[in-house]
Amino acid sequence: MHKKLSLLFPDQELDYKRISEVTLHDIGMENIIACLSDQKNERTYIGNVMRMMTDSPENAKYRSDIFDDLLKNPDIRERITTLFDRINFLREYGSYKHDHDHTAGVWDLLHRLEEINDYIQCIDSIYECLSNADIRSEGLLALKEYVHSLYTDNGYDGLKKDISMLRADTQNIKSVTVGINLNERFEACGIGVVSINNKPFTRSHIVSHFMDRISGKDNIRDGNEWNDDYRFDEFTEKNTFISGPEVIPPVFSPMAMLTLMNVSEADERIRGITKYMDDITDRMLHNTVMHLRDVLNRYTMLTITDITDLMPEFIYYIRWAEFIEKQQEKGFRFCKPEVISGAVSMKAIGLYNIRLLESETAKREDIVVNDLDFSDEHTLYVLTGANRGGKTTITQAVGQLFFMAQGGIYVPAVTFEYTPVDSIYTHFPADEDKTLDLGRLGEECRRFRQVFIEATKNSLLLLNETFSTTSFEEGYFIARDCSKAILQKGCRTIYNTHMHKLAYDIDELNDTAGPHKAASLTVASQNGIRSFKVSVAPPSGLSYAADIAEKYGVTYAMLTEADNKEKD
């Protein structure tokens, strides 16, 4: 048996960690993913895939190479997109979704026939577009080889001919005449197939006649005699239709992620009705059913899921490619992330926060870009600067780089080299209603402890104004100890804080640290003008209290100005 091919999860044995919805929101990717598709199931799928993280360099490179191929080959994306509807039908109604505890009836066989026909067309289309494309990724080359082996298989031509002939034989089945009995409460109490026809019913022949018949009592027919060639095989009240088995929601393992949507209750009800009709139609179409079974039994081992399960994965890459391509056309810079190893675990040049592109009026020249790296000397950044100077923006941007890169997607930067992280953890200010029981400081401490214990030396930790909700003395004491613990663990961290003293005391932190060091990172501001540029340097000199006072409008100048405006 061949190994099941996946374009997103090449190694099923890897340890994937699932980052939280809170982290997704904190780094600002929630809104970006919402822009990728107008289909809720596609957005959910993309978000679920990206939230499953692993620090495997091979996994990250595998994905980014596939995305690079698809971004550079719009023809492949266009061809695959045209297959979506057909593949979604196979995924929802394919025979592998049916119960196998009964002999396949005519409807199961006809669905199987159409399923195999669609499968053939998908193989043909994928084979053609991959054969003519310039692709270099391991994943798409493996798919190309797999499809080529199917296409050139000795039995493939025979399959195409058999299916073509069978479809020609069954194309004349266009409609079914059904009879329904009513009880004294005008409820359906019995149903049966009257005939199978070679012409479809139309509104003019059926609906209008029906409406005419029931519009007056004189039009209700006396008796129920049928033409001699009609036969009514009744389903009694004992065979009341059921809605089918309970639909079990998908489990989010790497391969279970391939489920895009659940089968609806209405679909299950239709399948239940279909099963009851099979017995009768088998008798009415005995020769056709036998012929269908004989031919389709030759292909019972055909594994259609190997192709259909790839379609959601293609959707993932295609929706992102459409988004990135659109932004590049507007002039915004994106680059392919490159996996590295060594003392430097991240080097980003020209990075920016992708949320800056949310506005339709966003311009490239208005976006300030920055350079930043992680290394043993720069393991923990204490990020300070004036309020509204861009500290949260740069903190989010770093999280976005790893999140997108490990999903295989181009990132908002000129160049980006990195060692993958096993997960991303955030500690941003909690909502007011979450702090009622423990108080704001207690809630912050509880959440930080949980995040710190879950994180490893291979994690990315983003702290935003952590421990800033208490007095300066209390907050500083806790922040200093937590920073020492972070350095001891060695996980890459950005600590965005108003506590400038923590940045001033970097040398004291490093004196007790091991091989991993902290560095002061500041957002430059001159004469109150924010540059939004960061640099490794001591704090700019603004005190914590002065910055907080400005944030809440309680400096002397701000208070008197506000008071004068109120009097006017």
DSSP per-residue letters across 448-497 = HHHHHHH--TT-EEEEESTT-SS-HHHHHHHHHHHHHHHHHHT-EEEEE-
Query: Based on the domain organization, do 412 and 470 belong to the same domain?
Result: yes
Collapsed DSSP state (helix, strand, coil) of residue 530: strand
End-of-domain residue from the set 304, 329, 354: 329
Does residue 312 or residue 175 have the better pLDDT? 312
Closest by Cα among 121, 116, 219 to 170:
116
Angle made by CA atoms 375, 402, 445, in degrees to the nearest 5 = 80
- Place 152 in a pLDDT band, splitting at 50, 70 and 90: confident
- Place 567 in a pLDDT band, splitting at 50, 70 and 90: low
- Place 423 in a pLDDT band, splitting at 50, 70 and 90: very high
- Residues forming a β-bridge with 196: 176
Flag whether 47 is in a domain: no
Query: Based on the domain organization, do 325 and 336 belong to the same domain?
Result: no
Flag whether 317 is in a domain: yes
Closest by Cα among 548, 530, 502, 547 to 380:
502
Flag whether 34 is in a domain: no
Flag whether 114 is in a domain: yes
- Exposure string over 230-245, b if 16+ CB within 10 A, otherwise e: eebeebeeeeeeeebe
Tokens for 369?
A: 């870009």
Flag whether 464 is in a domain: yes
- What domain range includes position 317? 1-16+54-171+257-329
Tokens for 44?
A: 């959910």
Mean of the per-residue pLDDT values for the chain?
79
Residue 302 DSSP one-character state = -
Interatomic CA distance for residues 121 and 124, integer angstroms:
5
- Place 330 in a pLDDT band, splitting at 50, 70 and 90: very high
* 384 in Cβ contact with 406 (< 8 Å): no
CATH no. for residue 489?
3.40.50.300
Is the overall model pTM greater than 0.95, yes or no?
no
pLDDT of residue 240: 41
Lowest mean pLDDT among 51-60, 124-133, 281-290, 544-553: 281-290
- Place 442 in a pLDDT band, splitting at 50, 70 and 90: confident
* 419 in Cβ contact with 557 (< 8 Å): no
Query: Based on the domain organization, do 186 and 145 belong to the same domain?
Result: no
Query: Based on the domain organization, do 316 and 208 belong to the same domain?
Result: no
End-of-domain residue from the set 282, 305, 329: 329
End-of-domain residue from the set 186, 212, 240: 240
Amino acid code (one letter) for 255: M
Report residue 311: phi and psi, to 5°: -65, -45
Flag whether 551 is in a domain: yes
Query: Based on the domain organization, do 483 and 391 belong to the same domain?
Result: yes
Query: Based on the domain organization, do 410 and 501 belong to the same domain?
Result: yes
- Does residue 210 surpass a pLDDT of 80? no
Query: Based on the domain organization, do 406 and 283 belong to the same domain?
Result: no
Query: Based on the domain organization, do 292 and 341 belong to the same domain?
Result: no
Report residue 500: phi and psi, to 5°: -60, -30
Find the mean pLDDT for residues 347-372.
93
Q: pLDDT tens-digit profile of 231-286?
A: 444 444 444 433 333 333 333 455 555 444 444 555 555 555 555 555 555 555 55
Closest by Cα among 66, 88, 105 to 196:
105
User: Which H or E element spans position 551?
Assistant: helix 544-551
Number of domains in the chain: 3
Cα distance from N-terminal residue to C-terminal residue, the chain: 83
- Place 548 in a pLDDT band, splitting at 50, 70 and 90: low
Interatomic CA distance for residues 217 and 374, integer angstroms:
85
Query: Based on the domain organization, do 533 and 392 belong to the same domain?
Result: yes
Find the mean pLDDT for residues 112-130.
82
Query: Based on the domain organization, do 426 and 542 belong to the same domain?
Result: yes
Q: pLDDT tens-digit profile of 84-110?
A: 776 665 555 454 444 444 455 666 666
Interatomic CA distance for residues 182 and 409, integer angstroms:
60
Flag whether 85 is in a domain: yes
pLDDT of residue 404: 98
- Place 153 in a pLDDT band, splitting at 50, 70 and 90: confident
Q: pLDDT tens-digit profile of 453-490?
A: 999 999 999 999 888 766 677 788 889 999 999 999 99
pLDDT of residue 466: 85
Find the mean pLDDT for residues 412-429.
96
Strands 460-464 and 492-496: parallel
Collapsed DSSP state (helix, strand, coil) of residue 182: strand
Query: Based on the domain organization, do 319 and 349 belong to the same domain?
Result: no
How far is the CA of 176 from the CAs of 107, 190, 195, 213, in angstroms? Answer: 12, 16, 6, 20
Query: Based on the domain organization, do 223 and 86 belong to the same domain?
Result: no
Flag whether 111 is in a domain: yes
